[in-house]
Homo-oligomer: A and B are copies of this chain.
Amino acid sequence: MASTALWSRGAAWLRSCRGTALQRGRSREAPGVLRGRGCCREVVATCERYAVRRLPFARLADGDVAFFERLMPGRVVTGEEEVKPFNVDWLKSVRGCSQLVLKPQTTAEVSQILRYCHERNLAVNPQGGNTGLVGGSVPVFDEIILSTALMNQIISFDKVSGILVCQAGCVLERLNEYLEEQGFIMPLDLGAKGSCHIGGNVATNAGGLRLLRYGSLRGTVLGLEVVQADGSALDCLTSLRKDNTGYDLKQLFIGSEGTLGVITAVSILCPQKPKAVNLAFLGCQSFAKVLETFTTCRAMLGEILSAYEFMDEKCMELVERHLKLSSPVTDSPFYVLIETSGSNSTHDEEKLNNFLEQAMASGLVTDGTVATDDKKIKMLWSLRERITEALTHEGYVYKYDISLPVGKLYDLVTDMRARLGQSAKNVVGYGHLGDGNLHLNITAESYSHSLLDAIEPFVYEWTARYSGSISAEHGLGFKKKQFIQYSKPREAVVLMQQFKAMLDPKGILNPYKTLPSALESSTC
């Protein structure tokens, strides 16, 4: 049987990623060199780099694979090469050792998979577009990967209400293209839009570039269909803007990173496509001026302001060097991107011009360009959107996604830069200033424990001192879960653990993620 042959290869590969028993704490043996976007063989297995012990789940057996083959013939992936991309995260920073990827097409299939895994005590790693940045979307050990890649059907769209209902595996950009044809847009947008799935977006409560205008998914997601750990489906897929009948269960699944249930379908409120979009890309001589520019534009642009992003000069340098993009605005320590979206181009341009005149006259901005046509708008957006990609060309990237009071936002970058000195290649800051969200990124030629120790827990302590969040929008996943206490009190974490125990008593759903666990303290 084909699956058995594939399975053998998988088993051979598995041996290669079982390391020697490691000491408690971070492994000192793991070099973890990562250059560019090469073969994932180079990525050190998560269970080798981090001190984490496999929980006592059952191990996959031939009979299990045979069961899934019968359930969904042709949509069971077991070959080492085929499984490999599902085991490694987009950043190529963590690697699991799963031997099995399942690609259900329907909620009923997801139910049957989870019922079986629950019964057999097999751990499951739900995976969307695998674009997460905290190691939440790939297995840590041999968890079965449940991919939503084939759950990509639009179920309905109502042009009167703007409510879209679709399966969890729909790619964000495809949804947006579909909606644009009907005069609407998705209420969220992010750099990973070409790959990420809406189910993953909801499971991680993705923020992104439109949050300033359209709010978080907690407001725009109207309904969810979720399959629980034991395989039972929970149908809260309503398409109503308002529904106060009992507790809002769907909220618990939004942002739970697949640890409480598998989201199979989403109902989401989509705004009308703005008739006019304008972009201003500006240079500021200090972060204080970036802040003042924000205050001014918020007052003058009001309801048409749809994005206020910032990046420092180092970000611009990396984007230009690695991606060969060129900016029409240069020689500034900071850049801001301001987007307006409105229903009347004449009004919007007038508002924007008034603001720009004032900003230039008062010296808030020293250089800038404005775009109204699609091509130039896309080009300017790419300067901001592709920073993450540019950074991966620098070697290993230590990523931090911090919420802070907006006035303190850049101090963390400055302090970190001073602290690390020459031991880091780059310390850069960019992000969604309008939401108080900083992306602090530190690069080095390769992963090193000593650099990590210089960064953490300093970065978390600094954040906690100003009552910030150690994860604004990326979630906790595998990499940040042990730092939750910097942003949440003990009582809250205990309550979260109670919810987890109630909804997934065997702990099979995305184990080793989101919540700290006393059990995970040793090796693989």
A contacts, CB < 8 Å to B = 158, 160-161, 204-205, 207, 211, 215-216, 218-220, 232-236, 238-249, 251-252, 254-256, 260, 272, 274-275, 295, 298-304, 341-344, 347, 350-351, 403-407, 432, 435-437, 467-476, 480, 484, 487-489, 491-493, 495-496, 498-499, 502, 514-515
Contacts and interface: CB of A to CB of B under 8 A. Distances in A.
Nearest to A236: B492
A290 to B, nearest CB: 13
A277 to B, nearest CB: 12
B242 A437 contact: yes
A405 B487 CA distance: 40
Contact of A218 (B219, B236, B467): B219
A375 to B, nearest CB: 24
A160 B332 CA distance: 24
B249 A495 contact: yes
Nearest to A239: B467
Say how many copies of this protein the assembly contains.
2
A351 B256 CA distance: 42
Contact of A347 (B158, B344, B488, B498): B344
Ranked nearest first, the 5 interchain pairs of A and B with the lowest CB-CB distance are A302-B343, A219-B219, A251-B251, A243-B469, A242-B472
Contact of A275 (B219, B235, B302, B437): B302
16 contacts: A158-B405, A205-B244, A207-B244, A211-B241, A215-B215, A219-B219, A234-B491, A242-B437, A244-B476, A245-B470, A245-B487, A251-B251, A274-B303, A275-B302, A303-B342, A303-B343
Given A219-B219, A303-B303, 14 more contacts: A161-B436, A205-B244, A218-B219, A235-B492, A238-B487, A240-B404, A240-B436, A240-B467, A242-B469, A243-B469, A243-B471, A245-B488, A246-B496, A344-B347
B242 A295 contact: no
